[in-house]
């Protein structure tokens, strides 16, 4: 076993790269590594599995907004909170497809449809399946995040051509009840298993900066990294504090600790795509760049996430150009 952490007593197993026997101690030892060693290791692993200078772009659309019966304390769409999101009904298919066309023109390769549901009702399924079929026929990969699923709903989505299903564990099991009380951690893991059994790719991650401890972040990553197989896609969200939600006044999170979390997600799940998800609007270009260096290789593009702001397309294009990402020519300096 190669010892990576020279300062700590705990030796970190480094081979094989992809494994499912992570312990909290391992994850904490990673958090304690010198920043440069950690980011260097994450970047090295990233390059073993993915092209070095490519960042995949997904586009999010809220197809059913607000009025959600769940009480997730970070979420402006919960009916339990007083955020200014107006509840809306399920969008019609033509409007969804118009958004998908715009997303494709803007360079997105995947289109993710989100709904503020605890779970879809069976009567919503035909419309959802039509949307998925329509988006797929435009040549985009499809993703949906609709809450908990029954096995037959998962199968219907798979048959409609859904490539990815997003369902986050959000935080550690220990911290979870501080954030959500209307469904359990176990419910979340069950949904992930249902998605996997239906043969779809799994997108599962969490949120950083909700007042959790480093041990909670370490534990959240252990839970994700011990899923077998690993989720193909792992979104790491920085909390977007929204007025009217219980987490509105949460203090700003340390950017370097966020970058560490991204790097550790990459080290623990090197063959998975780590997505730098919510929170980019609050980040500087330099902060985002450090996340890419730490192995994040996907972002949400377009001016809105579900209900909150995301960087304008032009700003993202300019950053991609400055970094020479996705074949952009590195511009001459002025």
Just list the catalytic residues: 68, 72, 75, 112, 143, 203, 275
Verify binding: residue 191, ligand SF4, rule CB under 6 A.
no
Closest to 264 measured CA to CA, from 332, 205, 323, 179: 205
DSSP code, position 88: -
Q: Is the CB of 27 or the CB of 58 nearer to ligand DTB?
A: 58
Give the count of residues interacting with ligand SF4 (CB under 6 A). 9
Q: Taking CB within 5 to 8 Å according to partner kind, which of ligand SF4, ligand DTB, ligand SAM, none is near residue 78?
A: ligand SF4
Among 45, 61, 108, 207, binds ligand SAM (CB under 6 A): 207
Give the count of residues interacting with ligand SAM (CB under 6 A). 17
DSSP one-letter string for 53-74: T--EEEEEEEEE-S-BS---TT
Q: Give the nearest distance from C-beta 241 to ligand SAM in angstroms.
A: 7
Verify binding: residue 200, ligand SAM, rule CB under 6 A.
no
Stretch that binds ligand SF4, among 64-72, 187-195, 239-247, 267-275 (CB under 6 A): 64-72
Q: List, as own/partner pairs, every contact residues 182-187 make where C-beta atoms lie below 8 angstroms and the sequence separation is at least 24, other chains included.
A: 182/69, 182/70, 182/71, 182/118, 183/70, 183/118, 183/148, 187/148
Among 12, 28, 33, 75, binds ligand SF4 (CB under 6 A): 75
Verify binding: residue 114, ligand SAM, rule CB under 6 A.
yes
Report the C-alpha gap between 155 and 147 in whole angstroms. 15
Among 28, 29, 116, 192, binds ligand SAM (CB under 6 A): 116
B/e letters for 58-80, b = 16+ CB within 10 Å, e = fewer, are bbbbbbbbbebebbbbbbbbbee
Dihedral of CA atoms 192, 197, 203, 205 in degrees, nearest 10, equals 30
Q: Give the nearest distance from C-beta 23 to ligand DTB in angstroms.
A: 25
Report the C-alpha gap between 46 and 27 in whole angstroms. 18
DSSP one-letter string for 215-243: HHHHHHHHHHHTSSSPPSEEEEEEP---T
Q: Is the CB of 12 or the CB of 131 nearer to ligand SAM?
A: 131
Q: Taking CB within 5 to 8 Å according to partner kind, which of ligand SF4, ligand DTB, ligand SAM, none is near residue 307?
A: ligand DTB
Q: Give the nearest distance from C-beta 244 to ligand SAM in angstroms.
A: 11
Closest to 112 measured CA to CA, from 136, 83, 86: 136
**Binding to ligand SF4 in span 136-175, by CB under 6 A:** 147
Binding site for ligand SAM (CB under 6 A): 74-75, 114, 116-117, 145, 147, 167-168, 170, 207, 237, 239-240, 242, 278, 306
């Amino acid at each position: 076993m190669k010892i990576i952490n020279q300062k700590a007593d705990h030796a970190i197993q480094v081979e094989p790269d992809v494994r499912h026997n992570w312990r909290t101690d391992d994850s904490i030892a990673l958090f304690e590594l010198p920043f440069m060693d950690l980011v260097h290791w994450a970047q090295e692993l990233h390059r073993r599995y993915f092209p070095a200078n490519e960042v995949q772009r997904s586009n999010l659309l809220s197809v059913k907004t607000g009025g959600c019966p769940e009480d997730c304390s970070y979420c402006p769409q919960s009916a339990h909170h007083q955020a200014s999101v107006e509840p809306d009904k399920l969008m019609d298919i033509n409007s969804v497809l118009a958004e998908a066309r715009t997303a494709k023109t803007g360079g997105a390769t995947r289109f993710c449809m989100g709904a503020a549901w605890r779970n879809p009702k069976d009567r919503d399924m035909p419309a959802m399946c039509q949307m998925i079929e329509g988006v797929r026929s435009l040549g985009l990969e499809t993703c949906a995040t609709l809450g908990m699923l029954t096995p037959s709903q998962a199968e219907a989505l798979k048959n409609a051509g859904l490539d990815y299903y997003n369902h986050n564990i959000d935080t550690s099991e220990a911290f979870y009840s501080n954030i959500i009380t209307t469904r359990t951690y176990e419910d979340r893991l069950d949904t992930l298993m249902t998605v996997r059994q239906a043969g779809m790719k799994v997108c599962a991650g969490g949120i950083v900066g909700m007042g959790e401890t480093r041990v909670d972040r370490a534990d959240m990553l252990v839970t994700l990294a011990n899923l077998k197989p690993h989720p193909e896609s792992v979104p790491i969200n920085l909390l977007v504090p929204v007025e009217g939600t219980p987490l509105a006044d949460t203090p700003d999170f340390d950017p370097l600790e966020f970058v560490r979390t991204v790097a550790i997600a990459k080290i623990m799940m090197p063959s998975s795509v780590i997505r730098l998800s919510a929170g980019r609007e609050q980040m500087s270009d330099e902060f985002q760049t450090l996340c890419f260096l730490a192995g994040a290789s996907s972002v949400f593009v377009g001016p809105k996430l579900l209900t909150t702001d995301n960087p304008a397309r032009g700003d993202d294009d300019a950053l991609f150009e400055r970094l020479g990402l996705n074949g952009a020519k590195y511009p001459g300096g002025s």
